[in-house]
Structure 1
């Protein structure tokens, strides 16, 4: 059974005004980091009145949490869609890894947005909830993928731990690339993840 976090049909639908504010928020954070995290700047980008954030989302933190989920799921959905283009369990993981280090993800400016989100996790319950749900969705998908692979090749130490390990490797490599992109390429990051998966399946 597909986990509810991976059920795209179960996610909220946003109207045009909400989508405009979500995109303006992401653009503001990617361009200016924490300096772009203000109602005034976001509304200026969206071309809307300041009061519309409260009207459509409730608070700025609610808008930020929605933007967090929208960004996380948009990137993850592309990787999942890519993985589902094959029926081979091992190839599904390969396709997922490849898309995870694709052009849409390997953008250093996205780090500015993530840094703002991460800095607010311990003081904004909405953003912590967004972080927890999106990270869980990522791990659940990988655990399901490793469980499928486990029917063919034993996964060590377990599909759950293999998913946690691969998540940590992907996150660590992406962060290191953003901070120092000359150290290694996206292709090399993919190779490292592939080798780790192969080692877990021996």
Structure 2
């Protein structure tokens, strides 16, 4: 095997190991929160030695930041894939509703970790910056979709206000899902219906009131 091939295989192995440790960290954070998570917990969850976790991330804070970055990138990739699969604005918004409320990147485990990081944003500038960037990017994706609907159904409110309201509604429903104590799929069905009812108030020609179109 040539040296470049060996280096590529070694880099791939390191990347896989780091990803497995990040996944283990996310599982531990979902169960214990940020203050309760330790590198030893992550090592046990990943089935490896403490030294390996320390070697790859050096400190708890570096592992936490890597875990948050992984969540952000996973979520960005999912929202692009989901919304880009549809040609019209209403279809893209429906896809984002499905993504945010009950998908594999917004299940109870993921949302528990998101809310754990949210809770620390007032004290941690790195977390705050990541959430600010993600929120700005999300609104930049929502606003053109709302504007496209408003072009055919003039709305009673400013496009940016409608987009901001929808984003805030997603956030509130995420928090409610944690407070609600795991009521299951029926909760997500109602949450999706809540978002469609909100959009129906502005764009009745594009969104039905409260029915869930998912099978």
| Structure 2, gaps ≥5 residues long | 1-11, 205-215
Match of 2:4 in 1: none
Report what 1:69 is aligned to. 69
Partner of 1:132: 132
Give 1:84's aligned residue.
84
In 2: Cα distance, 1:155 partner to 1:48 partner: 58
Q: Distance in 1 between matches of 2:101 and 2:42?
A: 29
Q: CA shift at 1:29, angstroms? A: 0.8
Q: Paired residue for 1:166?
A: 166
Aligned length: 189
Residue equivalent to 1:194: 196
Q: Which residue of 1 aligns with 2:209?
A: none
SS at match of 2:119: helix
Residues 112 and 178, structure 2, Cα contact 8 Å, conserved in 1: no
Alpha carbons of 1:116 and 1:152: their partners in 2 closer, same or farther (altered >3 Å)?
A: same
The separation in 2 between residues aligned to 1:23 and 1:30, in whole angstroms, is 11
Change (3 A) 1:48 1:123: farther
* Counterpart in the other structure of 2:30: 30
Question: TM-score, length-normalised on structure 2?
Answer: 0.73
Q: Distance in 1 between matches of 2:63 and 2:156?
A: 40
The separation in 1 between residues aligned to 2:93 and 2:179, in whole angstroms, is 26
CA shift for structure 1 position 167: 0.7
Between 1:165-174 and 1:101-110, the stretch displaced more is 101-110
Match in the other structure for 1:119: 119
When the two chains are superposed, the root-mean-square deviation of aligned CA atoms in Å is 2.9
Decide which moves more: 142-151 or 89-98.
142-151
CA offset digits 1:73-123 (Å, max 9, x no partner): 423532432222221111211121122213425533334323431232222
Name the structure, 1 or 2, with higher relative contact order (CA <8 Å, separation 6+): 1
Structure 1 residue 32 displacement after superposition: 2.6
2:94 matched to which residue of 1? 94
Structure 1 residue ranges without an equivalent (≥5): 1-12
* Kept in 1: contact 2:99–2:106 (CA 8 A): no
Cα separation, partners in 2 of 1:73 and 1:148, compared to 1, 3 Å: farther
Q: Does the 8 A contact of 2:156 with 2:202 survive in 1? A: yes
Compute the displacement of 1:148 (Å).
2.8
1:131/1:59 Cα in 2 relative to 1: closer, same or farther (>3 Å)? Answer: farther
Normalised by the size of structure 1, how large is the TM-score? 0.77
